[in-house]
């Protein structure tokens, strides 16, 4: 007889445009490999930095540092600081691709992207019939909802998800939780300024996430829910760790991994601590497949990823970690070790040789060419 999983809900929370060094200076006290002596960023940030494929190439090749600043984590992002210190802090998590928003959102939804750029908003938006985590859940009888901003971005790029009644406003998440209607799989995006995309005041988005997590805890679902909170791309902010060259585009420029971006995994059954492994955005939907008992998606980049389900203790009767601070309460950060541990150097690359990015797989078994719509000129 198979023992039922104690994990009934996976909630993937996706914010925007910050690196690990930019957001989590606070984790140095616990031994994380983060910078600590960069200038403090104002909040709200002064402006949005260039962070497309061309900007990434300049950063990758040392022509630019990006925005070399950090937020005061405990002052402006205290709930995030608490989650990072008490949950699993994936210090070497990376944007799936070294570029900007849309490709990385698509990696989070389905493990692949036909494009390396944001489709121009003044043109008809593309729709691709690619596999997706939400569509896969529906195909296998697992309840889901995508909580998005007004445009339905990014699930509106998926033919299977267009017009689905399960694509709803992000404002509905807390109501669904309160009404006992939290699905097994939730993916949550927000419009600006709640998405933390510069030049938004980052505390606005932080508070929206805090309210969402608190709603789950107050509904008695903390012990049965695994949260994965990440940021879509680097946003043009600097990070001091060079990421492994795992995959490259036809112009032979590194594509994966992109720069480090934060990933926090938390919930009642998540094992706390700093995790040093290399992982990327495809690790997030893979972990959802693992925790929800879903079969492979059919996208090799995602299916072949090890996932992060080992962070979750599914042992029957395992004790739940303490509830998070209630929304709006005064947060007392946990005491760090004294003295602070030395940071752990990044592990070796997970691959012996980088590979060319492959074709994009469609639901009918067909393929699209590998993404090659941003040509890098080497000069």
| pLDDT tens-digit map of 260-271 | 999 999 999 999
Count other Cβ atoms within 10 Å, centred on residue 124: 7
Q: Which two tokens stand for residue 25?
A: 């200076």
Phi, psi (deg, nearest 5) at residue 332: -100, 115
Phi, psi (deg, nearest 5) at residue 70: -135, 150
**Cα–Cα distance for residue pair 274/164, rounded to 1 Å:** 38
> pLDDT digit string (tens) for 215-240?
999 999 999 999 999 999 999 999 99
pTM: 0.97
pLDDT reading at 212 higher than 50: yes
| Structural domain 18-368, CATH architecture | 3-Layer(aba) Sandwich (3.40)
pLDDT, position 1 = 39
Q: What is the share, in percent, of the chain residues with pLDDT greater than 90?
A: 95
Q: Which residues of 140-168 are buried (b: 16+ CB within 10 A; e: fewer)?
A: eebebbbbbbeebbbbbbbebbeebebbb
Residues forming a β-bridge with 89: 264, 274
- Tell me the domain boundaries of the chain: 18-368
> pLDDT digit string (tens) for 117-149?
999 988 899 999 999 999 999 999 999 999 999
Q: How many residues does the chain have?
A: 379
**Cα–Cα distance for residue pair 96/107, rounded to 1 Å:** 7
> pLDDT digit string (tens) for 340-350?
999 999 999 99
């Amino acid at each position: 007889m198979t023992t039922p999983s104690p994990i009934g809900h996976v909630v993937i929370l996706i914010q925007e445009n910050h690196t690990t060094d930019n957001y989590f200076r606070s984790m140095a006290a616990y031994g994380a490999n983060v910078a600590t002596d960069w200038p403090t960023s104002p909040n709200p940030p002064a402006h949005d930095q260039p962070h497309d494929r061309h900007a990434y190439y300049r950063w990758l090749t040392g022509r630019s540092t990006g925005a070399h600043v950090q937020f005061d984590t405990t002052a402006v992002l205290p709930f995030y600081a608490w989650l990072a210190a008490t949950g699993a802090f994936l210090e070497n998590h990376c944007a799936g691709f070294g570029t900007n928003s849309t490709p990385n959102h698509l990696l989070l939804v389905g493990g692949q992207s036909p494009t390396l750029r944001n489709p121009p908003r003044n043109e008809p938006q593309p729709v691709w019939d690619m596999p997706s985590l939400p569509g896969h859940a529906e195909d296998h009888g697992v309840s889901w909802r995508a909580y998005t901003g007004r445009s339905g971005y990014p699930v509106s790029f998926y033919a299977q998800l267009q017009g689905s009644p399960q694509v709803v406003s992000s404002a509905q998440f807390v109501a669904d939780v309160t009404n006992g209607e939290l699905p097994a799989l939730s993916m949550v995006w927000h419009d600006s300024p709640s998405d933390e995309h510069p030049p938004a005041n980052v505390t606005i988005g932080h508070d929206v996430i805090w309210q969402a997590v608190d709603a789950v805890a107050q509904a008695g679902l903390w012990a049965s829910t695994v949260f994965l909170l990440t940021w879509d791309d680097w946003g043009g902010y600097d990070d001091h760790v060079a990421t492994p060259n795992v995959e490259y585009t036809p112009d032979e420029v590194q594509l994966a991994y992109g720069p480090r971006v934060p990933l926090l995994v938390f919930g009642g059954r998540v094992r706390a601590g700093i995790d040093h492994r290399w992982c990327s955005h495809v690790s997030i939907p893979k972990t959802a497949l693992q925790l929800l008992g879903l079969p492979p998606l059919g996208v090799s980049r995602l299916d072949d990823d090890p996932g992060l389900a080992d962070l979750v203790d599914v042992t029957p009767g395992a004790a739940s970690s303490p509830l998070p601070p209630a929304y709006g309460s005064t947060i007392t950060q946990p005491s760090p070790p004294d003295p602070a541990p030395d940071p752990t150097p990044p592990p070796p690359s997970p691959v012996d040789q980088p590979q060319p990015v492959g074709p994009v797989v469609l639901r009918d078994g067909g393929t699209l060419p590998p993404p090659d719509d941003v040509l890098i000129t080497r000069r």
